[in-house]
């Protein structure tokens, strides 16, 4: 049995609260890293067409021998493929690369508001969902204003919005908006991409207090906030460390200290402006 508890999405689908991210992992390395993650107990994998490792990820899933219904596979539609018909074609390509008959979660990677195609794109996701080829659909990097439009003009409430979120960029307003609309907040770069955040002295103190590592403290913070997390590592000891976060608790003082780390600065692009295709 998996050590990771699940959250129930707004359509009743269960999603593991912690998964494995594979951005910046090449296709061959993805087979190794995803295999190590599955061995360590991860059952949820977060990839994307643009990562170029859906095939390598799929190989690891197949080689694991784990029942399909125990796995939770997310992939994402890349920007260049937005638009109704292009989305349907891109989805077919992703499924074929993954070697799967369905994904558990399909996300629009970025809203690209300047192109104004995310509504048509989302309607294609609704079709994919209705056909049973994605058990849940959602978005990534959508600001509340983009979600408002989707909620007003489409039928299926996104199950998830995957956004940049870590102690230095806590996304309070977005999290509150998601909670009001029963959309799960999934944190990308949950460890702040490693280096700077994990060397923070406040986090080091909390790690010492709990006898844990800085990464474990940060992941525990996310879980206590209600976020789904998808830490990435290609280092076996870290892969194991990052899933070992379900047997300790931060207290109110710890949470207050972590709340103080907000800088208001993103590591990644601003979704209102990002339009790379
Ligand atoms: P993370 O915040 O997960 O940090 C990953 C970095 O931290 C790597 O350099 C890794 O090093 C290091 N690291 C991991 N675990 C530890 C540890 N226990 N101790 C010390 N260092 C550690 O960054 P990502 O940007 O990769 O985000 C996670 C996932 O989110 C991505 O892989 C992707 O799936 C998703 N994502 C989605 C985006 C979107 O637009 N929707 C954008 C960005 C990410 P090493 O691998 O060398 O061990």
Phi-psi domain of 250 (left: phi exceeds 0; alpha: psi -120 through 50; beta: other):
beta
- What is the pLDDT, as a whole number, of residue 189? 98
Nearest CA to ligand 1 atom 27: 189
In angstroms, the CA 111 to CA 81 distance is: 12
How many helices (DSSP H) and strands (DSSP E) are in the chain? 11, 10
Taking the C-alpha atoms of residue 171 and residue 164, their distance in angstroms, rounded to an integer, is: 8
Angstrom CA distances, 232 to 33, 77, 120, 240, stand at: 9, 20, 31, 11
Residue 54 lies in a domain: yes
Distance 263 CA to ligand 1 centre (A): 19
Return d(Cα 254, Cα 275) in angstroms, integer: 38
pTM as predicted = 0.98
- Residue 271 located in a structural domain: no
Residue list, ligand 1 pocket, CB within 6 Å? 21-23, 46, 109, 140-141, 162, 188-194, 198, 213, 215, 230-235, 238, 241-242, 268
Q: Does the residue 206 lie in any domain?
A: yes
Mutate to test the pocket of ligand 1, among 162, 233, 243, 267 (most ligand atoms within 8 A of CB): 233
Kindly state whether residue 269 falls inside one of the protein's structural domains: no
Q: What are the b/e assignments for 160-173, b being 16+ CB within 10 Å?
A: bbbbbbbbbbbbee
Q: Total domain count for the chain?
A: 1
pLDDT for res 117 = 98
119-122 LR contacts (CB < 8 Å, sep 24+)? 119/149, 119/150, 119/153, 119/154, 120/82, 120/83, 120/84, 120/87, 121/77, 121/82, 121/83, 121/84, 121/87, 122/150, 122/154, 122/158
Give nearest CA residue, ligand 1 atom 14: 233
Classify residue 249: in a domain, yes or no.
yes
Q: How far apart are CA 186 and CA 25, in angstroms?
A: 20
What the block records as the tokens of 64 is 């694991």
| Within a domain: 162 | yes
Judge residue 152's burial from the number of C-beta atoms within 10 Å of its C-beta, 0-12 exposed, 13-18 middle, 19 or more buried.
exposed
DSSP-based three-state secondary structure for 193: coil
Residue 1: its pLDDT value, please?
40
Ligand 1 center to residue 131 CA distance, Å?
32
Q: What is the pLDDT of residue 195?
A: 86
Contact 22, 232 (CB under 8 A): yes
Nearest CA residue ID for atom 35, ligand 1: 188
Residue 135 sits in a domain of what CATH number? 3.20.20.100
Q: Is residue 276 included in any domain, yes or no?
A: no
Q: How far, in Å, from the CA of 191 to the mean position of ligand 1? A: 6
Q: Which of 16, 23, 146 most suits a substitution to test ligand 1, by most atoms within 8 Å of the C-beta?
A: 23
Cα–Cα distance, 261 to 269 (Å, whole number):
20
Residue bearing the CA closest to ligand 1, atom 45: 233
Of 149, 158, 166, give the one whose Cα is nearest residue 184: 158
> Closest residue (by CA) to atom 21 of ligand 1?
194
Ligand 1 atom having least distance to the Cα of 233: 46
Q: What is the mean pLDDT of residues 54-83?
A: 98
Domain of 158 in residue numbering reads as 13-259
Whether 51 is a known active-site residue: answer: yes
- The residue-averaged pLDDT of 22-31 equals 98
How far apart CA 165 and CA 267 sit, in angstroms, is: 9
Does residue 196 lie in a domain region? yes
pLDDT at 122: 98
What does each C-alpha distance from 182 to 175, 222, 234 come to in angstroms? 10, 17, 33
- What is the 211 CA–ligand 1 centroid distance (Å)? 22
To the nearest 10 degrees (0 to 180), the angle between helices 118-130 and 84-98 is 50
Find the catalytic residue in 42, 51, 118, 122.
51
CA dihedral 202, 205, 211, 216 (to 10 degrees): 10
Q: Over pLDDT 70: what percentage of the chain?
A: 99
At a CB cut-off of 8 Å and minimum separation 6, what does 212 contact?
206, 220, 245, 248
What pLDDT is recorded for position 66?
A: 98
The string of pLDDT tens digits covering residues 141-159 is 999 999 999 999 999 999 9
Q: Do 46 and 8 contact (CB within 8 A), yes or no?
A: no
Average pLDDT over every residue of 220-244 = 98
């Amino acid at each position: 049995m998996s050590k990771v508890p699940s959250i129930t999405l707004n359509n009743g689908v269960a999603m593991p609260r912690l998964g494995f991210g594979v951005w910046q992992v090449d296709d061959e390395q993805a087979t190794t890293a995803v295999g190590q993650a599955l061995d360590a107990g991860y059952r949820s994998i977060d990839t994307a067409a643009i990562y170029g490792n859906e095939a390598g990820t799929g190989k690891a899933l197949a080689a694991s021998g784990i029942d399909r219904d125990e796995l939770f596979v997310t992939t994402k539609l890349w920007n260049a493929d937005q638009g109704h018909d292009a989305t349907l074609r891109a989805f077919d390509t992703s499924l074929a690369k993954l070697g799967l008959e369905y994904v558990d979660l399909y996300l629009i990677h970025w809203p690209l508001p300047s192109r104004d195609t995310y509504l048509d794109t989302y309607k294609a996701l609704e079709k994919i969902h209705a056909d049973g080829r994605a058990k849940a659909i959602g978005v990534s990097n959508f600001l509340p204003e983009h979600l408002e439009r989707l909620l007003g003009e489409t039928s299926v409430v996104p199950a998830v919005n995957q956004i940049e979120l870590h102690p230095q960029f806590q996304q309070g307003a977005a999290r509150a908006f998601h909670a009001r609309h029963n959309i799960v907040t999934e944190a990308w770069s949950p460890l702040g991409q490693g280096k700077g955040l994990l060397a923070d002295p406040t986090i080091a103190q909390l790690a010492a207090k709990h006898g844990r590592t800085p990464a474990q403290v940060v992941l525990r913070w996310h879980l206590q906030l209600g976020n789904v997390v998808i830490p990435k590592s290609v280092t076996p000891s870290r892969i194991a460390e990052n899933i070992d976060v379900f047997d300790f608790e931060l207290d109110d003082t710890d949470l207050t200290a972590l709340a103080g780390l907000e800088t208001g600065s993103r590591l990644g692009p601003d979704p209102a402006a990002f339009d790379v295709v």
